[in-house]
Structure 1
Amino acid sequence: MTGFWRFCSAAVVSLALFVGGGAGAFAQEPERILVFAASSLKDVLEDAGAQFDQSHNTKTEFSFGGSQTITRHVVAGAPADVLVTADDAWMAYAVKNGVLVDDSVVELASNGLVLVGSEALNAEAVELNAEALQAALADGRLAMGEPETVPAGRYGKEALTNLGLWESVAQRVAPMENVRVALAAAARGEVPLALVYSSDAKVEHGVRVLAEIPQDSHRAIVIPGALTSGHSKASEGFMEFLKSAEGRKIFQAHGFKVSGD
């Protein structure tokens, strides 16, 4: 009898382990959400994704790059659920190519422009006139997004043109593939000046703001987001989260402006 009960006991333990393991095996896997977004939105969107995943059975992942690059990838068929660009021109390009859900485009936030320099090199404030810019640049260059394709570069060229400063710096521009590359160049002291978004200056402690670009010198810098035609169900919830009061607070915390500011 002793051997029999020992057998029964072992059988019960084995069954319990099987059932427990089976429950874990059949637990629902987190639903993946893939967001294609502009490089300038990396910090804010990763923060938002982490907070969203905490209260949902989701795993939000990102592919960051220049707005022109990520949008072209989505148009070419990349498996994104959500597209968030740094301006409305590239979002309009995605709409025109029919890769987004109709009427899903929404303005999530807006941004501004600033001139920054290296904190370590004690860069000093710069007045927005040709003489002061030339003096600040010395033998160096002005890093900014590529003026013809990168949103930050287009806004920057527009602002400098309207301020009567473009001609004085056009030959000194170091065009970058996206605004975060320009920001990093200033932080490392590789360039004396970089023209970047206000939100970039807030997250990069290696730079200091040397001048704020007047808002009326360029078109409004809007941050639009939209669902792609092949989006997952979970991504709908993520977009709603970004538009919510909680989502707006995250954008504000990262230096963006939201409706009501």
Structure 2
Amino acid sequence: MLRPFVTLAAATLLSCNVASAAERIDVQAAASLTDVMNTLIEQYEQNHDVDIVPVYASSSTLARQIAQGAPADVYLSANEKWMDWLEDQGEPVHERRDLLNNRLALITADDSGIDDFTPDSDHLLAHYLDKGDRIAVGDPAHVPAGIYTQQALAHQGQWQTLEPRLARASDVRGALALVERGETPLGVVYATDAMAGEHVHQLGLFPANSHDPITYPAALIGKEPSPQARAFLQWLGSDKAASTFKQYGFEVSESNEAS
């Protein structure tokens, strides 16, 4: 008569554990958000019974993975294009908002000896490259940072000369790593990546009018977003989260209310 009681007790305990398990929130976020999102997730989990699981990569890679069925409750892109693309694929997108802004920066190694300058049409980047040198960028074929870079260089009349000399990385953090490892003397990344990089130095910011505004849209993904995912996205637009974003060098969008 004892065995059924033990079995029932064990089943009841298992049921309680399942019921009390933290709700999982899958977050797909642009690679440039890696450091700040890790901090924000840690802050949020301290006060909420959730398990936030982030994946970081190029916005294009993430969008394609989501379209192919990768788990995603919240998606944060580094440009409008890939959020638009996801919607065009028929993926349910809810409470979309422009969360952040950034700037495009030219970087070099700390010990390069290159003086700071504004990367504009008066400063041809080819003059800072020796024979065989390349410039590290996110691949302009799909990586947002690379797309902005192409726009800036084309605006300045430098694209045709520099296109054959690009070291194309799979995301902006890959471009940063090439400069950190000394594999390229120059790289184009976001200003926030320049801050996060090791042994790299920001030479200057590309003029804001040389490329499209660098905007980070965020949205809920899926037919029926969970209350937990909705609450987390709303919190990312809070004053508390804004303070952390600013600490990492991001500009908080004035229009970060849900659209």
Q: Does TM, normalized by the shorter one, top 0.5?
A: yes
Residues 18-56 of structure 1: per-residue CA shift (max 9 Å, x gap): 9xxx59964711111110111111111111111111110
Deviation of the 1:126 alpha carbon: 4.3
Query: Within the alignment, does 1:240 sit opposite 2:234 as a pair?
Result: yes
**1:68 equivalent among 60, 63, 67:** 60
Once residues 155 and 101 of structure 1 are traced to their aligned partners in structure 2, the CA distance between those partners, rounded to angstroms, is: 24
Change (3 A) 1:127 1:36: closer
Q: Quote the residue 1:12 is aligned against.
A: none
The structural deviation recorded for 1:233 is: 2.3
Q: Which amino acid aligns with 2:175?
A: A
Whole-angstrom distance in 2 between the partners of 1:142 and 1:130? 18
- Percent identity over the alignment? 34
Residue 184 of structure 2 is aligned to residue 177 of structure 1: no
Match of 2:38 in 1: 46
Matches within 5 A, 1:105-144: 105-126=96-117, 128=119, 129=121, 132-139=124-131, 140-144=133-137
Q: Give 2:251's match in structure 1, choosing from 236, 254, 257.
A: 257
Question: 2:139 and 2:14 mapped to 1: Cα distance?
Answer: 53
How far does residue 259 in structure 1 lie from its aligned partner after superposition? 3.0
Match for residue 5 of structure 2?
none
- Structure 2 gaps, min length 5: 1-8
**Quick one: distance in 1 between partners of 2:170 and 2:246?**
26
SS at match of 2:168: strand
Say if 1:123 and 1:208, in contact at 8 Å, map to a contact too.
Answer: no
Equivalence for 1:87 = 79
**Aligned residue type for 2:89:** N
Q: Which has the larger radius of gyration?
A: 1
Residue in 2 that maps onto 1:3: none
**Deviation of the 1:145 alpha carbon:** 0.9
TM-fit CA distance, 1:165: 1.9
Aligned residues: 242
SS at 1:105's partner residue? strand
**1:203 Cα shift?**
1.1
For residue 198 of structure 1, the aligned residue among 191, 195, 211 is: 191
SS at match of 1:149: coil
Structure 1 residue 150 and structure 2 residue 143: aligned?
Answer: yes
TM-score, normalised via structure 2 length: 0.86
Please state how far the C-alpha of 1:209 moved relative to its aligned partner: 0.4
Deviation at 1:168, TM superposition (A): 2.7
Question: Does the alignment pair 1:217 with 2:210?
Answer: yes
Structure 1-normalised TM-score? 0.85
Partner of 1:11: none
Cα distance in 1 for partners of 2:55, 2:254 equals 29
In structure 2, the residue corresponding to 1:59 is in which secondary structure? strand
